[in-house]
Copies of this chain bind each other. A is one copy, B any other.
Amino acid sequence: MRYVCGHKIPDSDSIVGAVALAYLFNQIGIKSQAVRTGEINDESRFILDKFCLDEPIFKDSFKDQDIYLVDFNNYQEGADDLVDANIVGITDHHKMGGIKTSKPLDVWIRAVGCSNTIIKEMFDFYDIKIPKNIAAAMCCAILSDTVIFKSPTCTKIDTTTCKELAKIANIKEYKKLGLEMFNVKSNIKGVAIDQLIKRDFKSFDMHGKKVGIGQLEVVDITLFDDIKEQLKDGLRQVKEDEGFDTCLLLLTDIIAMGSLILVASDSIDVVQRSWDIKVVDSEFWLDRCLSRKKQIVPYIEQNFKQ
Contacts and interface: CB of A to CB of B under 8 A. Distances in A.
B104 A107 contact: no
B106 A111 contact: yes
Nearest to A297: B102
Contacts of A293: 104
Contact of A109 (B97, B106, B112, B298): B106
Nearest to A105: B111
Contact of A95 (B94, B96, B104, B110): B104
How many copies altogether?
Answer: 2
Contacts of A102: 95, 298, 301-302
B98 A109 contact: no
Interface residues of A, number: 27
A106 B96 CA distance: 10
Contacts of A104: 93-95, 109-112, 293
A180 to B, nearest CB: 28
A110 B104 CA distance: 7
Contacts of A111: 103-106
Contact of A100 (B95, B106, B107): B95
Contacts of A112: 104
Interface in A112-130: 112, 121, 125
A261 B256 CA distance: 67
26 contacts: A93-B104, A95-B100, A95-B101, A95-B103, A95-B104, A96-B99, A96-B100, A96-B101, A96-B107, A98-B98, A98-B99, A98-B100, A102-B298, A102-B301, A103-B111, A104-B109, A104-B110, A104-B111, A104-B112, A104-B293, A106-B109, A106-B110, A106-B111, A107-B110, A121-B125, A125-B125
Given A104-B111, A105-B109, A107-B109, 12 more contacts: A87-B96, A95-B100, A95-B103, A95-B104, A97-B100, A98-B99, A104-B109, A104-B110, A105-B111, A107-B108, A107-B110, A108-B108
